[in-house]
A and B are shown apart, each in its own frame.
Chain A
Amino acid sequence: SQTIHQWPATLVQPVGSPLSLECTVEGTSNPNLYWYRQAAGRGLQLLFYSVGIGQISSEVPQNLSASRPQDRQFILSSKKLLLSDSGFYLCAWRSLGAKNIQYFGAGTRLSVL
């Protein structure tokens, strides 16, 4: 069966420090991969999605970047974190086919201080 791993679960970083969040998927090939950010008590904001290795689509211009170095690995990065980067980050995958059901990781709570 398919599983998605996202880590770390919580992260506290100082302003100006770099960021790297990693997400890996097991049990499926060539998934569509997604990074979302969720503010407290709000909906999901799509940040990036990828339909293949090295293919990244950015939804919102901001202080973050994403990379997909391997088929089932999706990385969210920043060179210098801002206070506004704080939030709950979720990785998700979706299989190819008619249904567009997304499967989510457990999330990373990022606090930038």
Chain B
Amino acid sequence: SQQGEEDPQALSIQEGENATMNCSYKTSINNLQWYRQNSGRGLVHLILIRSNEREKHSGRLRVTLDTSKKSSSLLITASRAADTASYFCATDGGGGFKTIFGAGTRLFVKA
């Protein structure tokens, strides 16, 4: 099955709340990334966490990585309506030319 599976598939929250999305993967990795996609647009890279890192912050984003469980989470704090988008985790599969994307979590933030 596909490397990188997000959970939940969809999430609806109120503006100001925190949003947490989870990702699981199957093989060893060098790093894991999170991307955002606005409806009908290309993906935009948000943050990369290396396999030897456990947590990383970027603005309102917080990413954790647990390589023993082969899982990662993306936390968006104090969400805004503009955060409404699909969020994808992606892994390098341990190296090589391919980046493997999950199916994504669709986040809807209600104003």
Least CB distance from A45 to B in Å reads: 9
CB pair A104 B48 closer than 8 Å: no
The chain B residues found within 8 Å of chain A, CB to CB, are: 2, 30-31, 33, 40-45, 48, 88, 90, 92, 97-104, 106
A62 to B76, CA, bound (A): 38
**Main secondary structure on A side of the interface with B:** strand
The 6 A-B pairs of least Cβ separation, nearest first, read: A104-B42, A43-B103, A44-B101, A100-B92, A104-B43, A101-B45
CB pair A94 B42 closer than 8 Å: no
Number of A-B contacts (CB under 8 A): 55
CB pair A104 B97 closer than 8 Å: no
The chain A residues found within 8 Å of chain B, CB to CB, are: 6, 32, 34, 36, 41-44, 46, 49, 51, 57, 88, 90, 92, 94, 98-107, 109
Least CB distance from A35 to B in Å reads: 12
A111 to B41, CA, bound (A): 16
* Other contacts beyond A6-B42, A43-B88: 17, CB < 8 A: A32-B97, A34-B99, A41-B106, A43-B2, A43-B102, A44-B43, A57-B97, A88-B40, A92-B42, A94-B97, A100-B31, A100-B99, A101-B33, A102-B99, A104-B42, A107-B40, A107-B42
Least CB distance from A23 to B in Å reads: 11
CB pair A106 B103 closer than 8 Å: no
Contacts of B90 in A (CB 8 A): 102
